[in-house]
Structure 1
């Protein structure tokens, strides 16, 4: 069962999803308050994308049970920008929106550093620029929940750093709740207020990130959190 409630953010209770005899999500109970930035880590096959698809309402072809509540204004950003190649940049941002959002779409292109590129074609943009358009498209509808499925996974390291800064700024301005699915532990610590670890369909870690200001990977507390998460992911043996 799914219902919508902006004031309560995301709430799941005993959420289960399975394909045939294989259980992908196993009794997930989770609350994400309005405006909170959460990162979700997990090894391949742990169920991260299945959870995101459930929250996005995109998992109609699976068996499921439990309760699920998300805001009605929920938008998704994928690793692939998924721009329409036959539409110019501004039209891509406005896709699915009323024409009354045109000024907001133009303003958002300015926020993501693409002012003046409204009439460019997607194939004229770099990969990082295409993801900037995708972020603008996700935010133009003023979402209460932004779901991001490894949105920077295909970008080079320098572009990713710039996109981290941009995403932090956009979330600060527009204040959606965010669930970011990522394989990158450093990315999760850098961006999120809270990090979850999903293992074999169960949430095994729910860790608040209380670092302040610029999050320096050289900070001992950053490294302590990093080791905790890597241990939970089975990358670093416990006690090492």
Structure 2
């Protein structure tokens, strides 16, 4: 059972989850300091989304030798924007929030580049715009922890680059602790301060990313980190 974390970071000890005879999370011990941006990589079926769902409080069958702790104010962004198609954009942003957050919702729509689209329907937005709304909805509650499950996986390459820039700006402004689940090694290196690799239910790599805020994929250190992570994922690195 998760408890609220007074220091606003994330702590798990011996976190485990099985489905039948199959172990998905094999006694995960993890600490994420407050304000840190962490990316979680792993092959399909490695347990990434299961870990995120556990931290989000969406899976009540996880277990462990110790209590795992997360901030009380936690928001989640999924690959699918999960907007309510029968509600307008601002109403979607404010879903579950008190009316007192209405101005904050408008301000966040402006931050994500959608000022003036408050009364648009979700169907009138592009995929990238829908994910912008989803980010605004996640941040309107001023969360201490932002969990993101492949939020840009369904977007085209150009839109994904723009969304990387937007997410970086939003995190700098709102300062939540972030755990980003992704299959994209370059995305992880571009955004995160630390990258984890989950393999067969265990954390096999815990790598700090000591790069400038503006990161050049062609830089030697970026490429060195990329090779390290691809090797850990069992993929032969390709020179770029």
Stretches of structure 2 lacking an aligned partner (at least 5 in a row): none
Structure 1 segment 30-45 matched on structure 2, within 5 A: 30-45=30-45
**CA drift at 1:85:** 0.4
**CA drift at 1:6:** 3.8
CA distance in 2, matches of 1:147, 1:8: 13
CA distance in 2, matches of 1:6, 1:123: 40
Give every structure 1 segment of 4 or more consecutive aligned residues whose post-TM-superposition deviation is greater than 2 Å: 62-67
- 1:210 paired with 2:210, answer yes
1:22-69 deviation digits (Å, cap 9, x = unpaired):
110011000011110000000001000000000001112x45333210
Map of 1:125 onto structure 2 = 125
CA distance in 2, matches of 1:134, 1:41: 22
Map of 1:83 onto structure 2 = 83
Contact 1:18 1:64 in 2 (8 A): no
How does the TM-score come out when normalised to structure 2?
Answer: 0.96
Stretches of structure 1 lacking an aligned partner (at least 5 in a row): none
CA distance in 1, matches of 2:69, 2:179: 14
Contact 1:10 1:30 in 2 (8 A): yes
Map of 1:188 onto structure 2 = 188
- 1:7 paired with 2:7, answer yes
Structure 1 segment 140-179 matched on structure 2, within 5 A: 140-179=140-179
Contact 1:19 1:63 in 2 (8 A): no
**CA drift at 1:8:** 4.3
**CA drift at 1:213:** 3.1
CA distance in 2, matches of 1:26, 1:87: 41
Map of 1:236 onto structure 2 = 236
1:155-190 deviation digits (Å, cap 9, x = unpaired):
000000000000000000000000000000000000
Map of 1:107 onto structure 2 = 107
**CA drift at 1:2:** 1.4
How does the TM-score come out when normalised to structure 1?
Answer: 0.96
- Cα 1:63–1:72, aligned 2, differ >3 Å: closer, same or farther? closer
1:93-120 deviation digits (Å, cap 9, x = unpaired):
0000000000000000000000000000
CA distance in 2, matches of 1:5, 1:50: 20
